[in-house]
Amino acid sequence: MSGAIGVFDSGVGGLSVLHHIRHTLPHERLIYIADSAHVPYGDKTPAYIEQRSHTLARFLIEQGASAIVIACNTATAAAVHSLREKYSLPIVGMEPAIKPAVAATQSGVVGVLATVGTLASARFAALLGKYAGDVKIITQGCPGLVVQVERGELHSMKTRRMIERYTAPLLAQGADTLILGCTHYPFLAPLIRDVAGAHITLVDTGQAVARHLLRRMETELSTRVPAEASAQFFTSGDAAQASRIMSVLWGEQVIARQLPREYW
């Protein structure tokens, strides 16, 4: 039995997770979808995001995916349960890293940078109830940051000012640990460190997700034979623009293909 690992996100941010998957599972065939025609997911309804997630998962399975990673916190909150009900293959989602951040903080204050959709989800509320304990958790929605990454503006003055605005209230209340609660945000980590200070701990879940995927595949797909290592990239947006941005974020030349129209 062979197959691929399918990964999707609202846009190019999930490449931060794909990096960890490639490092942890270097011999796998990877298929990545940036749903950039519908980015950002953070301002869409849960029903809309769920519908898009099912459409993208169907495409990945038709392309041979034997496991799927939802490389998006907002899409995980909206769709992971219904996807798991529909499909029997391993489906791994994202969630803000409350538990490791609570373990890391020295000040007892943790800030969460995330999309509005993630912060409003029942899944996020459940994480707070389960792991926050006596630690003060301060949340900050970050409208516009996803779009900045989609545009490749990782170091622009506009992006810097947005980060200054979003981190200021968290730092003012004593946060020494910031959760990057969106897969786009790790690409802004150098700028966030520059703004917030080198003493601030940044936490994201990409590496933990890759390790969890490995365990799921070893347990549930033990008879599977890995295909030849490769990576394919698709987008529902402009293929030329996606290729340019993905090449920067992936660290090597990417040629993104347009999703067939029925998956737009």
Domains of the chain (ranges, CATH numbers) = 4-94+206-263 (3.40.50.1860), 98-203 (3.40.50.1860)
The pLDDT of residue 227: 66
The mean predicted confidence, pLDDT, of the chain is: 95
182 catalytic residue (yes or no):
yes
Catalytic residue among 7, 182, 217, 256: 182
The pLDDT of residue 228: 79
72 catalytic residue (yes or no):
yes
**Burial state string for 48-61 with b = 16 or more CB within 10 A and e = fewer than 16:** ebbbbbebbbebbb
The pLDDT of residue 223: 79
pLDDT class of 3 with cuts at 50, 70, 90: confident
pLDDT digits (tens, 9 = 90+) for 131-182: 999 999 999 999 999 999 999 999 999 999 999 999 999 999 999 999 999 9
Is 95 a residue whose pLDDT tops 70?
Answer: yes
As given in the structure block, the two tokens for residue 8 are: 């999707």
Q: Which amino acid is at 31?
A: I
Instruction: Please enumerate in sequence order all residues whose Cβ is within 8 A of that of 186, keeping only pairs 6 or more positions apart, or say none.
Output: 16, 180, 204, 206
Instruction: State the number of CA atoms in the 13 A half-sphere of 30 facing the CB.
Output: 27
pLDDT digits (tens, 9 = 90+) for 40-49: 998 899 999 9
Catalytic residue among 72, 98, 135, 137: 72
pTM, two decimal places: 0.94
Q: Which amino acid is at 110?
A: V
Look at residue 187 and give its three-state secondary structure. helix
* CB 6, CB 61: distance < 8 Å: yes
pLDDT class of 1 with cuts at 50, 70, 90: very low
The pLDDT of residue 222: 79
